[in-house]
Each structure stands twice: as C-alpha cells, then as structure tokens.
C-alpha cells in the first residue's frame, strides 16, 4: 500500500508519441512511447505515486480521417467515441511499454489505464463559441454540405481549406477519481484523462451523456491532480522552459514563477491559447486549489526539473 506516498501527475505532451515529420505509424508511436519513460521511471524510483496523462490530438485527427474515408460504408463514430477510442489505444501503448520497462528495471508495479469521463457544464459559454479545429480539411462545397446535413460549425482555416470546429469547455470533475485513488493506494501506476478525458455532461436525472467537444489535456490534468490530491503537477512539452517573448529577439526563460506573476503574464498575452496558455492556466488552477507545486519542463528533463535545475517551477508565492 502507498497511501502516504507523495503523488505526481505527469502530463505527456503531444510530441511524446508522434514527432514532427513522422507519419505516426503504430511502430513509431511505440518507439516514441518507450523513449518517454525515463522520467516516469525516475519518479517511481524516488518513491512517488505516479499518474500519467497524455495528449491525443494527432490520433483523434487520424481517426476522424478514417471516419470520413469510410462515410456511407460503416456507421459513423461521433467525436466523443473517437476520444474514448484513442484514450484506450494510447493508454495501451503506454501501459505495455511501461510494463516492459518496469520488468527490466526490476520494479514490481502494475500499470493500469482508466478510461476517464470528465464532466463539463452544458451551459459553458464555449458551447456557443466553438473554436477548436479538428479532423480533415474540406472543400467549400463539402463545408456547405456538412453545415446543412450535420449542423457542424465549419470555418476557413488559414486559407488551407475548411475545417470543423468544436467547443472546448472547461473540465469540472473526474468521474473515476475514486478508482484512480484506489489504484494509487495499491501501488499501481495509473494512466488516466488521456486527451483531456471523454467529455460528458450530467443530465437533470444524474445520468451521464457524452458530448462532441474536446477538453484541453493540461486543464484536465490539473483537475485530476486536484481531485486525487496530488502534490505535484508536471507538464512535459517540447521546450526547456516557459519563455517571455517566445522566439523574439528579447525572449527570456523563466525558471521560477509565482501564481501572481503567471496570472499577470498570461493576462498580458505572453502565453497563447494554442500553446503555453493552457499549461500556465492549469498550473494556476492547481495551485489555487491547494496543490504544492507545478512544473513545466522538456520531456527529457524530468530528473533535472524535480531537482530544480531545469524547467519552470510555479509556486503560490
């Protein structure tokens, strides 16, 4: 039993499974997954209870392409089911890769994937303002057809064609939090809230119902960390630090931030919504909810980040 151990939630970025320039084959994804495990194994050896979350953007995009290619041949899969499908598939890749690595390291622990439903508010203003592009590009004629036939919100995307956009409401609660806590207490490594989790609403009678939206992975990771009372939220990405004026002549790496500083920089527009913004917001949320520390670091710098010599550490003050 590990009831008294410190708990860390590690959020793997989208680059963990499909690297830039790759086709995203299963063989490539397994190889990339194996390469992403060093930091997780280090945390285990340091005595942490570990929960892993991950992105699924490229995988959901590929699945929606398959759905589109098989239109009129097999029943269409809604977006929420595609999210669930990829959460299970990616969880399997991480789970198997980690199981093999643990055996080689002589660590007697079990890795378990939990398909995770995440509650969103059906009245969230995001539902009336869908902004998250997903799936394949369409021609203008196809866009008109799908707007009429399916009621999709479709917009022109950077002059490359037309794409469906969906809402990205804020996550409120992890439905399977008790299962995650029980598995952690038994000493298991838990993979949960993949791709932000499967978005659901709670109806008036208490029943859950899936909705075709997407949830930001980092925001969901923060909610999961809150719900299981984790000590640390670590978000791994493709850069070594959080930067001000990123990729500008006057860019500056931030090695430490307080919540107040993070809130100010976020308000000033230093962290765009499509990149660092959700990570900063997730860190702020987690710390305001009672978390101890949030860390944003490169995927190969977990040890150094926990030692305070890499990454960006965010604290309450």
Q: Where are the alpha helices (DSSP H) in the chain?
A: 26-35, 38-45, 57-69, 79-105, 140-150, 177-185, 217-227, 259-267, 277-288, 302-306
Q: Do 146 and 19 reside in the same domain of the chain?
A: no
Q: Which residue range forms the structural domain that includes residue 158?
A: 130-166
Q: Looking at residue 161, what is its pLDDT?
A: 87
- CA dist 198 and 90 (Å) reads 14
Do residues 195 and 151 both lie within one domain? Answer: no
Q: Is 132 a catalytic residue?
A: yes
* Shared-domain flag, residues 188 and 43: yes
> Cα separation of 248 and 235, whole Å?
23
pTM here is: 0.92
Q: Are residues 40 and 148 in the same domain?
A: no
Q: Which of 135, 197, 217, 301 is catalytic?
A: 217
Mean pLDDT of 195-214: 96
Strand ranges inside the chain, DSSP E: 7-12, 49-54, 111-114, 117-120, 132-138, 153-156, 162-166, 171-174, 189-192, 198-202, 208-210, 232-237, 242-244, 252-254, 256-258, 293-298, 312-315
In a domain, 57, yes or no: yes
Domain membership of residue 316 (yes or no) is no
Q: What are phi and psi of 25, to 5 degrees?
A: -65, 160
Q: Are residues 95 and 150 in the same domain?
A: no
- pLDDT band, residue 83 (cuts 50/70/90): very high
Lowest mean pLDDT among 107-116, 168-177, 274-283: 274-283
Q: For residue 291, is it within any domain?
A: yes
Ramachandran bin of 85, using left for φ above 0, alpha for ψ from -120 to 50, beta for the remaining angles = alpha
Residue 162 shares a structural domain with residue 251: no
Q: Indicate if 210 belongs to the active site.
A: no
Whether residue 213 sits in one domain with residue 176: yes
Contact 297, 243 (CB under 8 A): no
CA distance 266 to 222: 17
- The CATH number assigned to the domain holding 18 equals 3.40.1160.10
Q: Is the domain of 153 the same as that of 276?
A: no
Are 109 and 102 in contact by the 8 Å Cβ rule? The answer is: yes
Whether residue 191 sits in one domain with residue 67? yes
> Can you give the pLDDT at residue 1?
41
Task: Tell which of 144, 166, 188 closes a domain.
Answer: 166
Is residue 180 a part of any domain in this protein? yes
Active site residue 217: yes
Mean local confidence (pLDDT), 100-106 = 97
313 falls within a domain: no
- Domain membership flag for residue 312: no
Q: Give yes or no: residues 201 and 280 share one domain.
A: yes
Residue 259 lies in a domain: yes
Residue-level pLDDT at 2: 47
Above 90 in pLDDT, residue 234? yes
Alpha carbon 74 to chain centroid, angstroms: 29
- pLDDT for residue 317: 82
Whether residue 138 is found in the same domain as residue 96: no
Q: Are residues 193 and 82 in the same domain?
A: yes
pLDDT band of residue 245 (cuts 50, 70, 90) is: confident
Q: pLDDT digits over 119-146, tens only?
A: 999 999 999 999 888 877 888 998 898 8
Active-site entry in 195, 196, 279, 301: 279
- The number of domains in the chain is 2
Catalytic residue among 32, 55, 132, 135: 132
User: Which of the following is catalytic: 14, 24, 61, 88?
Assistant: 14
Residue 2 counted as domain residue: no
């Amino acid at each position: 039993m590990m009831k008294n151990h410190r708990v860390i939630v590690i959020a793997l970025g989208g680059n963990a499974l499909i690297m830039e320039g790759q086709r995203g084959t299963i063989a490539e994804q397994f190889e990339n997954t194996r390469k992403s495990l060093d930091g997780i194994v280090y945390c285990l050896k340091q005595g942490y209870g570990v929960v892993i979350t991950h992105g699924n953007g490229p995988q959901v995009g590929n699945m929606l392409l398959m759905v589109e290619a098989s239109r009129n041949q097999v029943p269409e899969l809604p977006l929420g089911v595609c999210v669930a499908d990829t959460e299970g598939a990616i969880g399997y890749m991480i789970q198997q890769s980690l199981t093999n690595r643990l055996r080689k390291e002589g660590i007697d622990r079990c890795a378990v994937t939990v398909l995770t439903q995440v509650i969103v508010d059906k009245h969230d203003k995001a539902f009336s303002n869908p902004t998250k592009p997903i799936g394949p590009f369409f021609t203008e004629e196809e866009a008109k057809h799908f707007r009429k036939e399916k009621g999709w919100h479709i917009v022109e995307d950077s002059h490359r064609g037309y794409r469906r956009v969906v809402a990205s409401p804020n996550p409120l609660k992890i439905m399977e939090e008790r299962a995650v806590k029980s598995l952690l207490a038994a000493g298991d490594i838990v993979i949960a809230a993949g791709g932000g989790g499967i978005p659901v609403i709670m109806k008036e009678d208490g029943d859950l119902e899936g909705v075709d939206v997407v949830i930001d992975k980092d925001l969901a990771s923060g909610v999961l960390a809150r719900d299981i009372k984790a000590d640390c939220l670590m978000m791994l990405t493709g850069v070594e630090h959080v930067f001000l004026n990123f990729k500008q002549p006057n860019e500056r790496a931030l090695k430490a931030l307080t919540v107040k500083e993070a809130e100010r920089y976020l308000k000033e527009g230093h962290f765009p919504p499509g990149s660092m913004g959700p990570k900063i917001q997730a860190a702020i949320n987690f710390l305001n909810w009672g978390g101890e520390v949030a860390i944003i670091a490169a995927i190969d710098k977990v040890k150094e980040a926990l030692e305070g010599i890499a990454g960006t550490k965010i604290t309450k003050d």
